[in-house]
A = this chain, B = another copy of it.
Amino acid sequence: MSVTSIKDIARLSGFSVSTVSRVLNNTGRFSETTRKKIIRIAKENNYSQNIIAKGMRKGRLAIIGILVPDITNSYYASIVKKCEQYFFKKDYLTIVCNTERNAGLEEKYISKLSNHMVDGLVVISTQNVIRKEQVDLPTVFIDRSPKLNNNIITASSDNYTGAVLATNHLIDKNCFPIMLTNKDNEFSSNESRIKGFTETAQSRGISNPTIISTNTNSDEIYLAKKAILTQLTVLWSKHRKLGIFAINDNVASYIYQIAIEEGFNVPDKLSIVGFDDAPIAKKLQLSTIRQNTSEIAKVSCSNLLKLLKHENILEHKFTIPISLIKRKTT
């Protein structure tokens, strides 16, 4: 029930409020007998600190805010979960905000989180809130381009190398490389992957690799089927074996579905590499580029906490290694 305050414990134990506080926080000076008595009475009365009052005094509540586009996406969920667990071990709780990539919502969330609600912020993959956020809170960005600003902390996968790995793998398997990516490629991670794809293909003597841009939202991608098939048909007239590097596993699995429906042999006629190593990739045995979400989370959280403790930050841009997982689609 804990309706008891520190005053009650003081009254019941016969000591002053300050002595009780010192005992309970194990700071300052008090005798062993005093300690035992106060602890006993506190326990008997089921006392526990009022966190708000403590926060008021300390100026902080020990909460971290996470802005994430959509917790339902397994890649984001994986990062958020690991951040939450990391923070909890360090005695922070985590407020999660689904922003839907909606700038208006983001602003609303941020203004709610400001004013001492949270100690710091983890922001995953949002575009244009940067102005607002810098106002207030110690922040770490995940999946945002390191090049945007020099004074903010960012952590993201090594998207460029991921694309290099995928592209080389496809070419090694004698595929003509095709990249299937988002239509709205405002995300720097996308840019890096396109760059890695193009440069790798060119370095392997393929001057004109194909890039297909389409809407890749779960629902919208179903509309792109015909257009994709047309492009594939054209390419098959020139190349025996095609290799698709998809922007994520969701898209890759969709291509895989189409291949099964249409009877294209995978991987003999069409090879597929996804991105993320989401559960679906494991389930369908898709080859993919694994993003190390544990490491992304760990780097982000540890550096945010350093920021909060005003420790020296050695670097501001963290690039997390990435790896190729070979499965049945290549």
Give A contacts to B, CB under 8 Å. 1-2, 48-53, 55-56, 59-61, 63, 70-72, 74, 77-78, 80-81, 84-85, 88, 93-98, 108-109, 111-117, 135-136, 218, 253-254, 257, 279-280, 283
Contacts and interface: CB of A to CB of B under 8 A. Distances in A.
10 contacts: A1-B136, A48-B111, A48-B114, A48-B115, A49-B115, A55-B55, A72-B78, A88-B109, A95-B95, A218-B279
B50 A116 contact: yes
Contacts of A60: 52
A325 B162 CA distance: 38
A78 B257 CA distance: 24
Nearest to A53: B56
B71 A1 contact: no
A234 B218 CA distance: 40
Given A55-B52, A63-B95, A2 B136 contact: yes
Contacts of A97: 84, 88, 93-94
Q: Specify how many copies of this chain sit in the oligomer.
A: 2
A219 to B, nearest CB: 10
Contacts of A53: 56
A257 B280 contact: no
A2 to B, nearest CB: 6
Contacts of A96: 80, 84, 94-96
Contacts of A56: 52-53, 55-56
A25 to B, nearest CB: 14
A325 to B, nearest CB: 16
Contact of A1 (B85, B135, B279): B135
A155 to B, nearest CB: 19
Contacts of A77: 71-72, 77
Contacts of A84: 71, 96-98
